Structure 1
Amino acid sequence: MAMSLSPYLMMNGNAKEAIEFYEKVLGAEVLFNQTFGEMPENPEFPIAEEAKELVSHAMLKIGESELMFSDNYPGQASQSGDQVTICISTDDIEKSKQIFNDLKQDGQIKMPLQDTFFSPAYGIVTDKFGVTFQIYTEGQH
């Protein structure tokens, strides 16, 4: 089982600017960058016009490390203390479930662990210490 931890920056509408800044300052290489408008359409949850150009997910490589980004969806905002989360990536759904369930003990679920268009098991949970983790499972649906 492979597992890695990556910092994930939640931005308030300025992820594109931050990505360009880190490219220049840290020599970052953009590995992936997708806007909300580029995501697969879901008629039950239409993308608001003001969100279409915002970053839904981006990954930069800086040296040997990866740094992930997303803008908050309009109407949501990060505050000091929850702007940086830790993304735990694994290739094992059962391990993702175990980690998610252990972290939620005395914590708070921000997004239940579920099948998404980009991961067979993805969820967001804040643990009892106030640290927010995104659980991302690699692999096919």
Structure 2
Amino acid sequence: MNVQVFPYLVMDGDAGEAINFYKEALDAEILYSQTFGESPEDPEHPLPAEAKARIMHATIKIGESEIMLSDTFPGQPHSMGSQVTLCITTSNAEISQKIFEGLKHEGEVTMPLQMTFFSPLYGSVIDKFGVSFQIYTGEEK
């Protein structure tokens, strides 16, 4: 079973600043960064101007470890101390489904497992212990 778990930091509009800070402070390498404004447009849900520069997703590498980051969408709740989630990634949709089903037992689904423009199967859940998980299905490498 090829599964990885990444710490995922959720910021409130300052993820870009955090990425640059970690780049300097921790000699981090920026592997990927995309703003909400760089994502495909959805005519049914126009992107507010204040969201365009926010980081939709980024990955940085610190030594041999990777950390993922993003900003909240404007208006989403955010509180200090709850901005760390765990992102479980796999290239197998069946494994993603099994992990999601297991974590949602007695938990709370915050985004149903579904196809998105960035993943064939993605969702998020808070488990019964209050730990936030993102389940991301990627492509076979």
TM over 0.5: yes
**What secondary structure, in the 3-state scheme, does the structure 2 residue paired with 1:102 have?**
helix
Q: TM-score, normalised by structure 2?
A: 0.96
Unaligned runs of 5+ in 2: none
Give the corresponding residue for 1:88. Answer: 88
Distance 2:109 2:39 in 1: 24
In the alignment of these two chains, the number of paired residues is 140
Could you tell me which residue of structure 2 aligns to residue 42 of structure 1? 42
Aligned to 1:3: 3
**Residue in 1 that maps onto 2:139:** 139
TM-score, length basis structure 1:
0.96
Establish whether residue 100 from structure 1 lines up as the match of residue 100 from structure 2.
yes
Please state if 1:117 is matched with 2:131. Answer: no
In structure 1, the residue corresponding to 2:44 is in which secondary structure?
A: coil
State the shift of 1:84 in Å. Answer: 0.1
Superposition deviation, residue 79 in structure 1: 1.5
Runs of 4+ in 1 over 2 A off after TM superposition: none
Distance (whole Å) between structure 1 residues aligned to residue 120 and residue 131 of structure 2: 23
Match of 2:33 in 1: 33
CA distance in 1, matches of 2:10, 2:45: 21
What percentage of residue pairs aligned between the two structures are identical? Answer: 56
Query: What per-residue deviation string (whole Å, max 9, x for no partner) do you get for residues 11-66 of structure 1?
Result: 00100110000000000000000000000111122111110001000000111100
Counterpart of 1:69, as a letter, is L
RMSD: 1.0
Give distance in 2, aligned partners of 1:139 and 1:46.
28
Supply the distance in 1 between the matched residues of 2:4 and 2:45 (Cα, whole angstroms): 31
What is the CA distance between 1:82 and its match in structure 2?
2.3
